[in-house]
Structure 1
Amino acid sequence: MEEKEKLREISSQEEEARKLMRELKQKREAAEREARYVRECAEREAVQRRDAENDAVRVAEEKQRLEQQLLLGSDWRYRLFEWEEVLAATSSLSDERRIGSGANGTVYVGTLRHMKVAVKVLHSNETHRTKQFKQELEVLGTIRHPHLLLLLGACPDQGCLVYEYMEKGSLDDRLQQRRQGEPPLRWSDRFRIAWEVASALVFLHNARPKPIVHRDLKPANILLDRNLVSKIGDVGLSTLLPWSSSSGGASVPWKKTAPVGTLCYIDPEYQRSGVVSLKSDVYALGVVLLQLVTGRAPLGLSPAVEAAVEEDRLAEVLDPSAGRWPPEDTRELVLIALHCSKLKQADRPDLQGHVLPVLQRLLKSSVVDDDARNSLLRRVPSATPPSHFFCPILKEVMEDPCVAPDGYTYDRRAIEIWLSMNHKSPMTDAPLLSKTLIPNHAILSAINEWKSRDE
């Protein structure tokens, strides 16, 4: 009996031990499940926190982008460049890369994203400088014309604008012959440049919803590309003109504002009264035309040329470096220039209705002149055509070269087919605001000269 009692006791103890083992195992498994759950929860929380942080960064970036668009204009048609990119492209804005400096900023040359560009950096972030920066973005960033300088992008935080690079410098440099190794502008090129500048002004004056007046047109702000095609730049002083009633009751664009611009090119009536109108640009154009003809400085130029015309000695004031001026056409150009530079706005001619047609006719006359045919290819061998004779689309020498709204020259039939199927530039992939094509008379004349030499 005693042994049986001991066996039962031992069995009972073993059962309790097994029960205890089961309970311990259950607790361990429960602890493991709880630890696994806690770990999974922590991992989920980490993922959620990381996703939330990424979302916050994206929202902040999008907010910043929208704020910049609201600040600089909602019609976003140019690239945003990082300041580090600009510094790398210009060797940290080194003196070796500097190609010009003015009252508003300094211009550097560089290579940015495989493009040769001109980088303009404002001198300061003062209020009036910032206003000019925004104005330049607003004008050049939302409109396109073959004879307006092409804005490629900007770095708004640093007051930096990136433009296409114009290899031949400014018209002022060429007229004053400051660029060594460059021949003087021939008279036929000057006739063409006169029409190109006028056509760009007409485009600005017809902008919608409000006309744009440049207010600082001068040779220093007219730039030349490698083919001597001219483009107006530096629109930081331009202004939008509201439509207002004139003293005669008609609705005309004008605005009362503090006079700005460059001495000798500022409309005298605007300088006296503060009233700027489209005729203010016409005055500046008249002075530029007189400089194209004479190659002289603007101070006192209009009275001197007017006296020469009245005394029948116009030939004495013409720039002799331009070649043999055609007497009749040159006289007509001078007369239209003097008409444009009248002291009173009311006495100046209408740019679109009168001045541009005259310049168009003079341009056509100069293109067919034998002397004009040598304007671009005086030193080009006849064996191989220059690269700029080839259409970027067809890769063939152009038959009818014309300038598209993106500023590039194409063969007319090729670009017309392209525009019938696309709304973007074949070169930059940027949206095209219009499908207007303008004949490139300079390139056509050069191609014809090359062909005649090859024959």
Structure 2
Amino acid sequence: METIRKGIWQAKPVERLYIEELRLKIAMKEEAANMKSALAKVSLERNEALDHKMTLESQVEKFNLKVNELEKKLFSEMLLSQKYKDERDELQIEREGALREAEELRKQLAERHSIDPIVSEFSYLQLQEATNYFDPSLKIGEGDYGSMYNGFLHHTQVTIKLLDPNSVQNRQGFDEQVSYLSKLRHPNLVTLMGVCREPWALIYEYLPGGTLEDRLIRHNLHSPAVPWQMRIQIAMDICSALIFLHSTQPNGVSHGGLSPKKLLLDENFTCKITDFGLVAKDSTLTNHESDVHIFGIIVLHLLTGKQADLWISKEVERAVQLNALDSILDPFAGEWPYVQAEQLAHTALRCCNSNINDRPDLASDVWRVLAPMRASCSSLSSLASRDQPPHYFTCPILQEIMEDPHFAADGFTYEAEAIRGWLESGHDTSPMTNMKLAHQNLTPNRALRSLIKEWLQTTSTK
């Protein structure tokens, strides 16, 4: 028993050692497992870190590429911007130089010749020769601004107005006025064709039909009477011209002194207004109502043939009230259609209303009355056709209406192509006179070209 007990006692240390060893092995296994787990985690984190690093490196590489592209683009833009800046600076320098040259040229032209290029300039000697030294027999009247003469310039009949020196302030004012007048172009305004500055003179197109007053009052009994159809057309011509003047920018222009003496007729009875805009700087030129009033007086003058004074409106008004308008209609006009005569009378009396606010507007009111009467103006068998061009529109060589008229040394006007062909073929004489030409230079006849264009535009719309 004792031996057994001793054996057990002796066995316990071994067992304890075994147990301790076992515990140690278990602990080592656990530690190894923990280390393995930790190592796996570290390995995983390392792999993730490597992946993240690769991603970052890829992003950095892309970023660097983008930066390089942007740097190249920025550099290119800087070069382009500099190029544009250099070109802009060069253009600015060129522009400033061109502006300086243009301004210098403008000043030189203004000093030498400030008249609008569409208007020809003539010397006083040329005007003397054109009027046989202002022969009194060629004088056709005294206007508000000077004396008027018939004359021939470059073999073309013209009307020459010698201005009263008191009506011209100075050379600059005269040049400004001429430039202004040359830009007022309308088929029913007398065309300014030329100018003379010593003395002050204006050269207008010649209208062989005389003044409206002469034709209606019949100072020349041998001239044919004006039929009622043409009188309607004349009223339309005057109305059209006034509408144009009143609508001219910026503030419109009023005639300010309209009268039958300032209404001229050509060979086709086309009516044109003269003496317009001669005091363009005057404030009265914005008073369109006075033109409307005088227009009404002129329409009554066309209806009755009586003097165009303030009494004519009273006489017509009384006749209308008594239903006796036909008793005062001009018998030389033929048999007026009563309805149209009555419409014209009522419209004219409205224009003569003493209250300017009750006067009609020419464009919106009066034209609406006149326009429907146009058809009645077509039967004018007793008169020349309004489509017949003036003889001086025709080239003496080609016998056709000119497109580019030019003066030659003989004083005649030819189509440029025709006269150049004549000269280039070896001729040194005039096609008209057969006399030797002083030179072979050609000068554009701008005023005549403008007249031809206006006539062509007018006839093309009929």
State the TM-score, normalizing by the size of structure 1: 0.61
Question: Structure 2: where are the runs of 5+ without partners?
Answer: 1-104, 406-443
Alignment: residue pair count: 315
1:428, distance to aligned residue in structure 2 (A)? 2.6
Aligned equivalent of 2:383, options 376, 379, 393: 376
SS in 1 for 2:383: coil
Aligned to 2:439: none
The equivalent of 1:361 in structure 2 is 372
Find the partner of 2:142 among 93, 97, 101.
Answer: 101
1:107 Cα deviation after fit: 1.1
Match of 2:152 in 1: 111
Unaligned 5+ runs, structure 1:
1-60, 242-254, 261-275, 379-384, 399-403, 407-423, 445-455
Map residues 271-350 of structure 1 onto 2, 5 A cutoff: 277-297=287-307, 298-350=309-361
Residues 155, 397 of structure 1: alpha-carbon distance in 2 compared, 3 angstrom cutoff: closer
1:374 partner amino acid:
S
Q: 1:154 aligns with which of 185, 195, 200?
A: 195
Matched residues in 2 for 1:130 and 1:389: separation?
35
Residue 94 of structure 2 is aligned to residue 84 of structure 1: no
Quote the residue 1:437 is aligned against.
457
Question: 1:53-452 maps to which residues of 2 (within 5 A)?
Answer: 65-67=109-111, 69-70=113-114, 75-125=116-166, 127=168, 137-239=178-280, 255=283, 257=284, 277-297=287-307, 298-367=309-378, 372-377=379-384, 428-430=448-450, 437-439=457-459
- AA at the equivalent of 2:333: A
Hey, what's the Cα distance between the residues in 1 that align with 2:261 and 2:273?
9
Q: How has the CA–CA distance of structure 1 residues 127 and 108 changed in structure 2, closer, same or farther, with 3 Å as cutoff? A: closer
**1:9-57 Cα deviation digits (max 9, x unpaired):** xxxxxxxxxxxxxxxxxxxxxxxxxxxxxxxxxxxxxxxxxxxxxxxxx
Q: Secondary structure of 1:67's partner?
A: helix
User: Could you tell me whether the CA contact under 8 Å between 2:211 and 2:262 is conserved in 1?
Assistant: yes
Distance in 2 of aligned mates of 1:96 and 1:232? 24
User: Is the CA contact 1:99–1:108 (under 8 Å) kept in the aligned structure 2?
Assistant: yes
- 3-state SS in 2 of match to 1:438: helix
Alpha-carbon distance, 1:226 to partner: 1.0
Instruction: Return the alpha-carbon distance in structure 2 between the equivalents of residues 363 and 147 of structure 1.
Output: 16
Shift of 1:364: 2.1
Q: What letter matches 2:165 in structure 1? A: S
Checking the alignment, whether the CA contact within 8 Å between 1:135 and 1:236 is kept in structure 2 is no
Q: Per-residue CA shift, 1:226-282, capped at 9, x if unaligned?
A: 1111100012555469xxxxxxxxxxxxx5x5xx9xxxxxxxxxxxxxxx5222211
> Aligned AA for 1:277?
N
8 Å CA contact 2:168, 2:174 repeated in 1 = no
Query: In 2 relative to 1, CA 144–180 (structure 1 residues): closer, same or farther, beyond 3 Å?
Result: same
The within-5 A match list for 1:6-21 is none
In 2, are the aligned partners of 1:168 and 1:223 still within 8 Å (CA)?
A: yes
CA distance in 2, matches of 1:172, 1:129: 33
The 1:388/1:149 distance shift into structure 2, 3 A limit, reads closer
Identity of aligned residues (%): 32
Q: TM-score, normalised by structure 2?
A: 0.60
In structure 2, the CA distance between the partners of 1:425 and 1:110, relative to structure 1 (3 Å rule), is closer
Q: Find the aligned partners of 2:218 and 2:113 in 1 and give their Cα distance.
A: 42
User: SS at 1:223's partner residue?
Assistant: strand
Quote the Cα distance in structure 1 between the aligned partners of 2:368 and 2:374: 10
